[in-house]
């Protein structure tokens, strides 16, 4: 009897949900121990979460603003938990995302100009993209290279600190992040990224330059765009355009 009680008490609430004949993603997201179970690599849980339909719904919680009359769980808890699930860096879940272009399109649809960009969801979006940058570098960069509008949309939202961090990480990473570092740097050098940034310059944007400069060297620790070819140093570039603004 003692053994049975011990075994019963050891069963987690997440397992109790998984034991149901029919259960929903929301039921799992509502359980306090779900992140702990993800980090413990609960195979039943991960096999459920890796399914395309579940990955899509997790993404929607991150990128879609809840309706005005949405419950608190939908507005705050579920987006937070969804982001945490992705940033647990579980390979099979991230693989489902990066190997399905429609899912990647859904993730980056957050950047579209015709939708709201709350600081809260922007933070979640940025965490997921940075996670992909670290754990799924090659497929992420292939996607970005195939979708040139991503950089433009990131620059358009550069006033949001978390979005700016994504942009800086993309252009400021070193060869420890990008396996094909030289090719990526050449591609960045050939892009019109700097021109897009300059086009965004305004007195209100000036304060962001120092922040970008700090991020470049905090995150990357090296000169970034085109550094392999000696084209320019991003930090110096930001300093120079800051001077231009003060002079003009």
Q: What is the pLDDT of residues 157-205, one digit of tens each?
A: 988 989 988 888 877 654 455 555 556 666 666 666 666 776 665 555 5
Same domain for 170 and 243, yes or no, is yes
Phi and psi at 236, nearest 5°, equal: -65, -35
Which of 128, 146, 164 marks a domain boundary?
146
pLDDT over 90, % of the chain: 52
Same domain for 218 and 133, yes or no, is no
Split at pLDDT 50, 70, 90, the class of 209 is low
Same domain for 56 and 83, yes or no, is yes
Q: What is the pLDDT of residues 9-26, one digit of tens each?
A: 357 899 999 999 899 999
Domain count within the chain: 2
Instruction: Kindly tell me if the per-residue pLDDT of 228 is higher than 70.
Output: no
pLDDT of 97 reads 98
The model's pTM is 0.77
Same domain for 134 and 22, yes or no, is yes
Which of 99, 120, 146 marks a domain boundary?
146
Same domain for 190 and 202, yes or no, is yes
Same domain for 156 and 138, yes or no, is no
The mean of the pLDDT values for the chain is 79
Domain containing 38 equals: 1-146
pLDDT of 83 reads 98
Split at pLDDT 50, 70, 90, the class of 114 is very high
Same domain for 38 and 84, yes or no, is yes
Question: Where is pLDDT greater, at 8 or 175?
Answer: 175
Same domain for 111 and 89, yes or no, is yes
pLDDT of 41 reads 95
Q: Given phi > 0 = left and psi -120 to 50 = alpha, else beta, which region is 115?
A: beta
Same domain for 32 and 122, yes or no, is yes
Tell me which of 64-68, 190-194, 205-209 is least confident.
Answer: 205-209
DSSP character string of 74-142: IIIIHHHHHHHHHTTT-HHHHHHHHT-HHHHHHHHGGG-TTS---HHHHHHHHHHHHHHHHHSHHHHHH
Which distant-in-sequence residues (6+ apart) come within 8 Å of 182 by Cβ?
228
Q: How far apart are CA 99 and CA 84, in angstroms?
A: 20
Split at pLDDT 50, 70, 90, the class of 127 is very high
Q: Which of these, 189, 195, 177, lies nearest to 228 by C-alpha position?
A: 189
pLDDT of 48 reads 97
Which of 131, 146, 161 marks a domain boundary?
146
Split at pLDDT 50, 70, 90, the class of 67 is very high
Split at pLDDT 50, 70, 90, the class of 212 is low
247 token code pair? 């002079």
pLDDT of 125 reads 98
Q: What is the mean pLDDT of residues 148-153?
A: 88
Same domain for 164 and 214, yes or no, is yes
Same domain for 28 and 142, yes or no, is yes
Same domain for 23 and 93, yes or no, is yes
Q: How far apart are CA 98 and CA 93, in angstroms?
A: 9
């Amino acid at each position: 009897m003692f053994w049975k009680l011990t075994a019963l008490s050891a069963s987690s609430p997440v397992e109790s949900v998984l034991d149901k004949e029919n259960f929903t993603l929301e039921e799992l997201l509502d359980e306090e121990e779900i992140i702990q179970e993800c980090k413990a690599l609960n195979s039943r849980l991960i096999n459920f979460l890796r399914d395309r339909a579940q990955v899509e719904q997790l993404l929607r919680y991150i990128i879609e603003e809840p309706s005005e009359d949405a419950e608190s769980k939908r507005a705050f808890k579920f987006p937070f938990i969804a982001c945490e699930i992705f940033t647990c860096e579980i390979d099979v879940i991230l693989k489902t995302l990066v190997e399905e272009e429609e899912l990647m399109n859904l993730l980056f649809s957050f950047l579209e100009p015709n939708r709201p960009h709350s600081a809260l969801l922007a933070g979640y979006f940025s965490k997921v993209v940075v996670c992909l940058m670290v754990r799924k570098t090659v497929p992420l960069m292939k996607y970005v290279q195939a979708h040139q509008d991503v950089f433009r949309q990131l620059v358009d939202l550069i006033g949001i600190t978390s979005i700016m961090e994504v942009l800086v990480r993309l252009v400021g990473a070193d060869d420890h992040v990008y396996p094909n570092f030289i090719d990526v740097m050449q591609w960045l050098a050939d892009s019109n990224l700097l021109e897009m940034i300059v086009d965004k310059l305004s007195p209100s944007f000036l304060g962001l330059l120092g922040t970008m400069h700090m991020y470049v060297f905090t995150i990357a620790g090296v000169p970034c765009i085109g550094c392999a070819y000696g084209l320019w140093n991003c930090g110096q570039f930001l300093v120079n355009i800051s001077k231009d603004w003060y002079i003009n």
